[in-house]
Structure 1
Amino acid sequence: MSRFEVITDAGIALVAELGMRGLTHRAVDARAGLPLGTTSAYFRTRKTLVEALVRRLADLDRVELARNRLPADETATLPPGQRLTAADLDRLAESVAAVLDEWLTTGRTRTLARYACLLEATHHPELRTILDHGRTYRAQARALLAAAGAARPEQAGDHFVACVDGLLFDRLVGAGALTAPVPGTAESRADLTTAVRSILTALTAAT
């Protein structure tokens, strides 16, 4: 692993475990097993350290999206004129559900850290740039919803991202964490697929 990956992975683990208050250069050095001062040599300020964590989170997200056959960047658009069928939407729901289930299990640490970083940005405007990675997902969702026949694809794409993010948050820390199937099981993936397909159905049926 590169030094960037070692440092940011240690930072992600700290934020997931302790929240943003636990993210210090000294703590990252200790968690990563690096000599004191290493993290501050790479990232001089806390802001640059937080931004580095988000870049690492986004990189890891792209790997999982690609593994589950979902667009991994904003340039991955559909061919002009291509329309998504009901079967395509079924497969899309299954792929999104698989990613969500990974983010609740093997990627749970990253998911917790991601939410902590987003909350930090609401209190510190100088960190608002960490929200930029969400633009890619919205652009992809708009293109997919347009191809599925949504009457207002830009609005529908934004609503889809918001609903899926809410579903993830509910399964991670909300009431859904207590009542939903155990993450990592076939039941969990099936339940998430049903939820995502319902969202797609509602958005593509809207006029």
Structure 2
Amino acid sequence: MTEHRDRRAVLADAAIELVAARGIRGLTHRAVDAQAGMPSGTTSAYYRTWKALLTGLVRRLADLDRIDLERRALAAEGPLLGEPQDIPVTADGVNRLAEATAAVIDHWLSAGRTRTLARHVCALEAAHDPELRELLAPHNDAARASASAFLARAGVRDTDRRGRDYVACINGLILDRLVGVGASIAPLPGTQESRDELHQSIRSLLEAMIRPEGSR
């Protein structure tokens, strides 16, 4: 059983690499066999249909994100990273949250860039695929709920909408650094300069969101 799970993970990892390099149309059973260095027909034995293969890829992305966050001891640091209840709503707490979020985003843009590319390819494909959108929903919902919880503790009104706004801004920041203007003018991902700039941007966003409405 362990070997079966390991083989599925190897194939899903190969699928992630393919989607990141070639887009969703590059995802075929034969291409995954070749990418994984497996005999022809191996992928079909574990993922019978293209939809099953895509589902396996999305679930593997979610598993790797969770493992990555746990390994980096960031799973309890706040929005995007887990539950924010241990982060105090103070200037220092906001700074810590921004710093932790910046660190994981920078990781996803450097060592985890292939996975991040594949995730965004799947997100775009989900616009035309309700089943894929449903598969991605739990991950997206968890991030929004975590952000809303932190903002609620800060006394922010309409936290559901503000939580969605926060996650949308973070996703936009990642996408810009991945394929937008930021990809060519922002500091190189994986450097302290990159983490510092992300930290400053995220801290400014959080400070603006928790600032009393009358003082804006």
* TM over 0.5, shorter chain: yes
Residues 158, 125 of structure 1: alpha-carbon distance in 2 compared, 3 angstrom cutoff: same
TM-score normalised by length of structure 2: 0.88
2:82 pairs with 1:84? no
Separation in structure 2 between the aligned mates of residue 182 and residue 166 of structure 1, nearest angstrom: 17
1:157 CA drift (Å): 1.1
- The CA distance in 2 between the partners of 1:154 and 1:206, in whole Å, is 17
Q: Deviations over 1:64-116 (max 9, x none)?
A: 3332423399984627xx85211111001001000110011000000000011
Q: Does 1:167 align with 2:173?
A: yes
TM-score when scaled to structure 1?
0.91
1:149 is aligned to 155
Matches within 5 A, 1:65-144: 65-66=69-70, 67-71=72-76, 76=83, 78=85, 83-132=88-137, 133-144=139-150
> Are 1:196 and 2:167 matched, yes or no?
no
**How big is each residue's C-alpha offset from its partner over 1:111-158, in whole Å with a ceiling of 9 and x where there is no partner?**
000011111111222322232121111111111221233222222111
Alignment identity in percent? 53
Tell me which of 44, 53, 63 is aligned to 1:59. 63
How many aligned residue pairs are there? 205
- Asked if structure 1 preserves the Cα contact closer than 8 Å seen for 2:82 and 2:143, the reply is no
Structure 1 residue 18 corresponds to structure 2 residue 22: yes
CA contact (8 A) 2:110 2:190 kept: yes
Q: Which amino acid aligns with 2:45?
A: A
RMSD: 2.1
3-state SS, counterpart of residue 127 of structure 2: helix
Secondary structure of the corresponding residue to residue 156 of structure 2: coil
Q: Is the 8 A contact 2:13 2:57 kept in 1?
A: yes
CA distance in 1, matches of 2:111, 2:122: 19
- Partner amino acid for 1:61? D
SS at match of 1:35: coil
Q: Residue 191 of structure 1 aligns to a residue in which SS? A: helix
Q: Distance in 1 between matches of 2:154 and 2:45?
A: 49
AA aligned to 1:33 is: G
Distance 2:29 2:212 in 1: 49
